[in-house]
């Protein structure tokens, strides 16, 4: 992450912006050889503060998963004030000619025996591409789409329904055949359409209500319709965002998915809701925090593309919790400042039927996660030095999200770490300001492989962009990250 003053571009045209990057000294800072291809993906604007242009990287005509650069420009002056991303040098990676052929039996050996995938179905043939792994190492990999029974529960809670086949994008080292990543592709969420799957898994199902139609007899249909609208207007009214992709795309939902299905998810195109098993979860359509959580995965898909793996995946999950909880507060009372800490920071209070941590927190209100005190759920972390570093939960995407969740809550309402793991005091700045800062930081200044220290830098840059020279706000945002153990490192640059 580089923030500062780097010069001006001739225009906001993507060709001019890319030429500025290629002819500047910045190429050297990203350790590029000069023959790497950067292909324009999209641009997006936040108010009059920043225009962000995103470019994807290709080497040897192969895409680089996680290889991208986002160039941030002040639209009034055309000054480049930031560059964020992760790029590989073509001189430091394995050429495609060294790939060792991969057989389906090799895939099954790697995934079923070593990595808990069962009932595996290989959906696509292996395709070569480059991957930037969690250690920032470029790997030549085979990319394969599979279906398997390895749980990818959006809630992070294992239930009886974890035996359903779910989609993963799998990346296997093309030389050693080691698993690099197995990323779940179901992310658990104005023109609205609601479909009834009728307890099958054939999407989208029968259309039963669309925009402007009156309520129907099925309460789940009406809840899905109403809550999609509430989330839409939260994003529109507070951030000027027109649907999940900012292009006014329909908000499509399917209800009654499968039988006693304990999940809701965004599948890359639409929302899907199970009815719950009536033991751990009830139906998910009535919980706005869950619905806007899932639709925020779609916002991330359309902006930063935070990869659902390791620290970037935990930030992906945290951003969904942050916007889901904030949407509930806004919907309850659009004229607000500081939400009620006793009720505003619980994710899933209206769909959770059991205390998921009865021994550790017998008096906790029902919910999936507690953003103001993450460890109450029995699995979430609240302090970066204590983050989960194992192989489960896609390297901790749910369990580590509590670190960023707590930083956000402290920014909003102030105070110190609830478990006194640090003594840093955070001054409150209120929800209206904090949600603008986090929205800008996560949608513009972050990229697919961003980690926690990058989230700190991104939200600090967003604070400076939105509230220039407001030292109390800047200090609060920084102190909140320090309070949860995310401190500056040399990898987060400021110029």
Answer yes or no: is pLDDT of 154 > 70.
Answer: no
Query: For 22-39, what is the mean pLDDT?
Result: 79
398 is catalytic: yes
Give mean pLDDT, residues 40-48.
92
Burial of 98 (0-12, 13-18, 19+ CB in 10 A): exposed
Query: What is the share, in percent, of the chain residues with pLDDT greater than 90?
Result: 71
Q: What is the mean pLDDT of residues 323-336?
A: 84
- Please, what is the average pLDDT of the chain? 89
What is the reported pLDDT for 153? Answer: 41
| 176 found inside a domain | yes
Q: In terms of domains, do 471 and 369 share one?
A: yes
How many whole angstroms separate alpha carbon 59 and alpha carbon 62?
A: 5
Given a contact cutoff of 8 angstroms between Cβ atoms, the answer to whether 406 and 482 are in contact is no
Is residue 229 domain-shared with residue 173, that is, in the same domain? no
Say how many domains are in the chain: 4
Co-location of 105 and 71 in the same domain: no
What local confidence, expressed as pLDDT, does residue 143 receive? 94
> Residue 209's pLDDT is what?
96
pLDDT tens for 51-79 read: 999 999 999 999 999 999 999 999 999 99
Between 10-19, 187-196, 255-264, the lowest mean confidence (pLDDT) is in 187-196
Same domain, 320 and 448: yes
* pLDDT for residue 337 is more than 80: no
pLDDT of residue 414: 96
Q: Tell me which residue range forms the domain holding 67.
A: 2-91
pLDDT score for 160:
37
Give the pLDDT confidence score for residue 335 in this predicted structure: 60
pLDDT at 186 over 90: no
Which one of 117, 293, 398, 444 is the catalytic residue? Answer: 398
Give me the phi and psi of 492, to 5 degrees please: -105, 100
Q: What is the pLDDT of residues 81-104, one digit of tens each?
A: 999 999 988 888 899 999 999 888
Whether residue 420 lies inside any domain: the answer is: yes
459 confidence band (pLDDT: 50, 70, 90): very high
- pLDDT over threshold 50, residue 161: no
Rounded to an integer, what is the distance from CA 278 to the centroid of its chain?
28
Q: Is the pLDDT of residue 162 over 80?
A: no
Query: Per the domain annotation, does 15 fall within a domain?
Result: yes
pLDDT at 159: 38
Owner of token pair 């987060």: 492
Domain boundary residue, one of 302, 320, 339: 302
pLDDT at 155: 37
The question of whether 68 is a catalytic residue gets the answer: no
Q: What pLDDT is attached to residue 289?
A: 94
| Segment 424-456, tens digit of pLDDT | 999 999 999 999 999 999 999 999 999 999 999
* Count of CA atoms in the C-beta half-sphere (13 A) of 326: 30
Query: Which position among 294, 297, 311, 444 bears the catalytic label?
Result: 294
CA atoms within 13 A on the CB side of 150: 25
Do 248 and 384 fall within a single domain?
Answer: no
- Tell me how far apart the alpha carbons of residues 116 and 93 are, in angstroms, rounded to a whole number: 29
pLDDT tens digit string along 192-213?
Answer: 999 999 999 999 999 999 988 9
**pLDDT score, position 131:** 96
Residues 168 and 204 in one domain: no
At residue 339, the pLDDT reads 67
The verdict on 295 and 324 lying in the same domain is no
Same-domain pairing of 86 and 11: yes
The answer to the question of residue 493 being in a domain is no
């Amino acid at each position: 992450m580089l923030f500062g003053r780097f010069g001006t571009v001739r225009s906001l045209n993507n060709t001019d912006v890319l030429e500025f990057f290629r002819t500047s000294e910045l190429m050297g800072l990203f350790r590029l050889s000069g023959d790497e291809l950067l292909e324009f993906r999209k641009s997006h604007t936040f108010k009059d503060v920043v225009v962000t242009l995103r470019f994807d990287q290709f080497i040897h005509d192969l895409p680089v998963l996680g290889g991208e650069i986002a160039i941030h420009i002040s639209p009034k002056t055309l000054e480049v004030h930031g560059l964020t991303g992760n790029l590989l040098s073509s001189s430091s990676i394995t050429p495609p000619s060294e790939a060792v052929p991969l057989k389906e039996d090799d895939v099954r050996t790697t995934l079923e025996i070593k990595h808990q995938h069962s009932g595996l179905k290989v959906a696509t043939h292996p395709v070569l591409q480059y991957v930037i792994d969690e250690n920032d190492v470029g790997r030549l990999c085979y990319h394969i789409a599979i279906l398997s029974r390895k749980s990818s529960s959006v809630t992070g809670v294992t239930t009886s329904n974890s035996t359903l086949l779910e989609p993963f994008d799998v990346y296997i080292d093309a030389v050693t055949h080691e698993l690099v990543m197995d990323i779940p592709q179901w992310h658990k969420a104005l023109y609205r359409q609601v479909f009834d799957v009728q307890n099958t898994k054939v999407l989208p199902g029968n259309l039963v209500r669309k925009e402007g139609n009156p309520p129907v007899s099925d309460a789940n249909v009406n809840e899905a319709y109403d809550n999609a609208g509430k989330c839409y207007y939260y994003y529109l009214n507070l951030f000027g965002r027109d649907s999940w992709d900012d292009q006014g795309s329909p908000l499509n939902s399917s209800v009654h998915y499968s039988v006693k299905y304990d999940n809701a998810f965004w599948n890359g195109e639409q929302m899907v809701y199970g009815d719950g098993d009536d033991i751990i979860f009830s139906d998910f359509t009535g919980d706005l925090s869950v619905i806007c959580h899932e639709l925020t995965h779609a916002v991330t898909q359309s902006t930063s593309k935070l990869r659902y793996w390791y620290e970037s995946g935990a930030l992906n999950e945290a951003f969904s919790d942050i916007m889901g909880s904030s949407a509930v507060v806004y919907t309850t009372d659009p004229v607000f400042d500081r939400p009620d800490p006793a009720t505003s920071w619980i994710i899933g209070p209206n769909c959770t039927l059991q205390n998921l941590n009865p021994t550790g927190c017998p008096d906790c209100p029902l919910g999936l996660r507690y953003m103001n005190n993450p460890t109450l759920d029995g699995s979430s972390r609240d302090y970066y030095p204590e983050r989960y570093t194992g192989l489960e939960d896609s390297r901790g995407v749910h369990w580590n999200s509590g670190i960023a969740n707590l930083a956000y809550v402290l920014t909003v309402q102030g105070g110190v770490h609830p478990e006194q793991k640090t003594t840093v005091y955070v001054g409150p700045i209120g929800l209206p300001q904090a949600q603008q800062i986090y929205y800008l930081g996560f949608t513009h200044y972050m990229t697919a492989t961003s980690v926690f220290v990058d989230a700190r830098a991104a939200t600090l840059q967003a604070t400076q962009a939105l509230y220039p020279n407001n030292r109390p706000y800047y200090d609060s945002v920084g102190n909140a990250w320090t309070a949860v153990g995310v401190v500056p490192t040399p990898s987060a640059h400021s110029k």
